[in-house]
A = this chain, B = another copy of it.
Amino acid sequence: MTISEENYLKIIYLLSENTSKEISTNAIADMVKAKASSVTDMIKKLANKELINYEKYQGVTLTELGIYKAKIIIRRQRLWETFLVDKLNFSWDEVHEIAEELEHIKSEKLINHLDAFLNFPRLDPHGDSIPNQDGIIYESQKVLLSEADLNKKYICVGVKDTSSHFLKFLDNKKITIGTIIEIIERENYDNTLIIKIENTTTTISNKIASNLYINNTDPNQLLITN
């Protein structure tokens, strides 16, 4: 697979996670930052390689093979992100671009040795699950902060939006993975939340809250095991 093919495949996989419907040409075009006509070209190529199912004008879905290959690319991306943060002291908002390149280095041995070197991490710096070498993902239980209850303590376990813009914003608000968050109040009109982080209260919009994942198990128990 070429770098471009791998990028398309990964993006189709990520788009498929949020929906059970076919993925549209335009949705892919937006993500890969190319024109729809270029996407049509690539779709045909991936369909010929039996990585996606494609019917003209009907969008695409991944085949079993496509899903597996996509997971391996995501495994590489997330392991490299973990390496950059844990070993090379990068911050979580700096790793995306570099991992976007590193994920295309083709050596199974490299990635499996890297996995071992990092001690087989299950989550990347953004709280996303790292598939194992068979493409199996052990998904951790998580829920969006926007869906959480009032007056319970939660732990931030991940972000949905991994753009450096959003991550820097979270740094400013002193929110990162592991941060304990409690919802004090929910504004009914626009679902703005007033939250408490370490005895200071802040206001966050619904857009922010629906890009933050929290654990959905009993918070006291988790605090102990943490």
Q: Do the beta carbons of B101 and A106 come within 8 Å of each other? A: yes
Residues of chain A in range 95-119 having any CB-CB distance to chain B below 8 Å = 97-98, 101-102, 105-107, 109-110, 113-114, 117
Q: Do the beta carbons of B88 and A113 come within 8 Å of each other? A: yes
Place the interface of chain A in its size category. Answer: 10 to 19
**Shortest beta-carbon distance, A81 to chain B, in Å?**
12
Chain B residues positioned under 8 Å from A106 (CB to CB): 101
Residues of chain A in range 79-100 having any CB-CB distance to chain B below 8 Å = 84, 87-90, 94, 97-98
In the bound complex, CA of A90 to CA of B117 (Å): 12
> Which of chain B's residues has its CB closest to A88's CB?
B113
Q: Do the beta carbons of B113 and A90 come within 8 Å of each other? A: yes
| Neighbour of A113 across the interface among B89, B97, B101, B109, CB < 8 A | B89
In the bound complex, CA of A107 to CA of B101 (Å): 10
Q: Do the beta carbons of B113 and A105 come within 8 Å of each other? A: no
Q: Do the beta carbons of A101 and B105 come within 8 Å of each other? A: yes
Chain B residues positioned under 8 Å from A87 (CB to CB): 117
Q: Do the beta carbons of A98 and B105 come within 8 Å of each other? A: yes
| Neighbour of A98 across the interface among B84, B101, B110, CB < 8 A | B110
Chain B residues positioned under 8 Å from A94 (CB to CB): 109
In the bound complex, CA of A106 to CA of B97 (Å): 10
Q: Most B CB atoms within 10 A — which of A90, A105, A106?
A: A105
In the bound complex, CA of A138 to CA of B101 (Å): 30
| Neighbour of A117 across the interface among B88, B107, B110, CB < 8 A | B88
Residues of chain A in range 55-91 having any CB-CB distance to chain B below 8 Å = 84, 87-90
Chain B residues positioned under 8 Å from A97 (CB to CB): 107
> Which of chain B's residues has its CB closest to A89's CB?
B113
Q: Do the beta carbons of B107 and A88 come within 8 Å of each other? A: no
> Which of chain B's residues has its CB closest to A112's CB?
B88
**Shortest beta-carbon distance, A106 to chain B, in Å?**
7
